[in-house]
Structure 1
């Protein structure tokens, strides 16, 4: 017996354009593309059996989407939203959890909340607590250090240092200068095991100390090259010797603008007298507790990350030789560390942060 006569389909110009658009759209699902092809084929007057054979699907599939389109038109081809499981956590519970995370310490006496302790306190699962914390960007296990400068000349010094970075004077060299003191010559108690496929390099957690050195460095902010010198101590005598090293290394026709921190050795009477006799040196001091303004600190981070953290040395002499070699390689292809924020940007960010923490009640 022949099956029932299929429902005739007539498409408007708009429906035909939409269906063809779905077929060409790269982000459309394969299911929607197939349904569009079925409806377009049916609209040509082909029987269900022929459409099924042409498209490689069952007759029941063709019959289903022909009927769905006839009843609901284009909307009938789009997957209907699923109801899903009913929501178990209310907005009020989420708000209470967030407020507790921000404003209360754990009753157990711990220094911070964990997903387990919070789940026990509010009667939720650990996974639910974790999802809510991620949604609100809360990370109780992480703490970052900070300190707001109390320097009475903070604004003036920020504008001075940032101004020298962003608009260096003509016929002058701007150097970010500082000391990395107490660099330890550490030797591991057992040999370092090299990396192997699927196995990282390994080194012992304990070490033997073989003494320390201090590295004085001056970073040229324009080229990224570094003038550096090792000293076993970091008194004003060593700082003065380093100033003389800079003086000898830089052509005499260039002025020198040095960005420094407020370490006492930079301001002793012998240093001041030497500077008076060498007027091409101009000192720009960062505010107290604002070492982040000194670009050489970023270079010290490169040195630590790329060289010192995973090194092993049997003596201070070996450590100093290794660091000098790394600096020589750096200076063969120096990379400038570019300052981008203006003084107004920095001061505006600090003002907004201070306002926010004051308004929070903490």
Structure 2
């Protein structure tokens, strides 16, 4: 029988432009490139046999793509949808996997703190929910609903029944208001606390300075040189810091810090100086308030809510000290720690972020230090 005549190819201008881009594009897949070259040669009037010789393809392959383009145009050169391999796991098994991932392991009798994909896969097999399943398959199922049971975040539960009242008093002081009345020019707000257990760790090998394409290198092993406490008071509105080092925390070291600040101007002659403190043992309760007022009649102690020292702005300063002054910890002895912590932060103003009220709740930004503050640290 005579061979069937080749299908005539007459692409439009737009189709010819698309074929050339597909045939000679640098990012085109190889299979699409070959198919486009077959059609372009057919558009020039070449026979299927000649195209097969020039491209090295089988004659049936050339005939197939020539016919596909003649019937469906440029989109017909793409792969047709395939059914793929039959699903191995049912939707019910996938749902049971996600339900198990949303439970704490201890609640299901598994002695783990949190799930990981390999452990979930092993548990699914042990319970008979699925046959053998890989950890990557479990991970793909969990990714569909953005489930990550191996991650966790800590949070603080508000325990103080008077949280809103106490927090409002502290935040009002940050905005220069107390009991509904604005503060005067001769009234000041100080945020104070202690940073305990600042250690002197002497590294067994010297710390290496950073270099090109190399980070600073700090030896893991160290010798303990003792620890001290760093007490600080931060003037919220004047951006000044007063600090001192003590062997340990307590009532006497805290009152020494208060005396250090209150002996200087403008606090010595101020009408009122508000001291914002948390509920630590050094300044807790009514006794601490009476003790401060007796020593300095113009001093007013204001406590943050219980278990909410994050409303105290001095914590932001301590985080800066930890990140920029103490860490990485490499000190020969406690004297070197004291010398670094005693740097005069009052020589440069330090600006911290003021807590804001957001949606009826109180939020304290982690840090909003200015470039000037960075230089002072």
Q: 1:167 to 1:249 in 2, by over 3 A?
A: closer
Q: 1:261 aligns with which of 278, 281, 305?
A: 278
1:58-117 Cα offsets, whole Å, 9 max, x none, are 698999777544422464355545544443333322332233231442656344444443
- Ranges in structure 2 where 5+ consecutive residues have no aligned partner: 48-53, 126-132, 364-377
1:279-332 Cα offsets, whole Å, 9 max, x none, are xx5x4422111122223223222322333242233332221102223x64x964
User: CA separation in 2, counterparts of 1:65 and 1:333?
Assistant: 75
**In structure 2, what is the equivalent of residue 137 of structure 1?**
147
Contact 2:279 2:304 in 1 (8 A): yes
**In structure 2, what is the equivalent of residue 318 of structure 1?**
336
Q: 1:158 aligns with which of 145, 167, 178?
A: 167
Structure showing greater relative contact order (alpha-carbon pairs closer than 8 Å, 6 or more residues apart): 1
TM-score (norm 1): 0.67
**In structure 2, what is the equivalent of residue 7 of structure 1?**
8
TM-score (norm 2): 0.65
Per residue, is there more helix in 1 or in 2?
1
Corresponding pairs, count: 325
Q: 1:192 aligns with which of 184, 206, 211?
A: 206
1:308 aligns with 2:326: yes
**In structure 2, what is the equivalent of residue 93 of structure 1?**
93
User: CA separation in 2, counterparts of 1:66 and 1:275?
Assistant: 97
- Ranges in structure 1 where 5+ consecutive residues have no aligned partner: 50-56, 349-362
- For the residue of structure 1 that corresponds to 2:292, the secondary structure is helix
User: CA separation in 2, counterparts of 1:66 and 1:146?
Assistant: 65
**In structure 1, what is the equivalent of residue 353 of structure 2?**
338
**In structure 2, what is the equivalent of residue 270 of structure 1?**
291
User: CA separation in 2, counterparts of 1:34 and 1:160?
Assistant: 72
User: CA separation in 1, counterparts of 2:296 and 2:33?
Assistant: 82
- For the residue of structure 2 that corresponds to 1:88, the secondary structure is coil
Contact 2:114 2:149 in 1 (8 A): no
1:120 aligns with 2:135: no
- For the residue of structure 1 that corresponds to 2:305, the secondary structure is coil
1:123-158 Cα offsets, whole Å, 9 max, x none, are 232333344455533233x55544413212012223
User: CA separation in 2, counterparts of 1:294 and 1:32?
Assistant: 65
Matches within 5 A, 1:1-362: 7-9=8-10, 11=12, 67-73=67-73, 75-76=75-76, 80-81=80-81, 83-101=83-101, 102-105=103-106, 107=109, 109-123=111-125, 124-133=133-142, 136-140=146-150, 142=151, 144-165=153-174, 171=185, 173-188=188-203, 190-194=204-208, 201-208=217-224, 210-221=225-236, 225-247=240-262, 248=264, 250=266, 256-266=273-283, 267=285, 268=288, 269-278=290-299, 281=300, 283-325=301-343, 328=345, 332=348, 334=350, 336-339=351-354, 341-342=356-357, 344-346=359-361
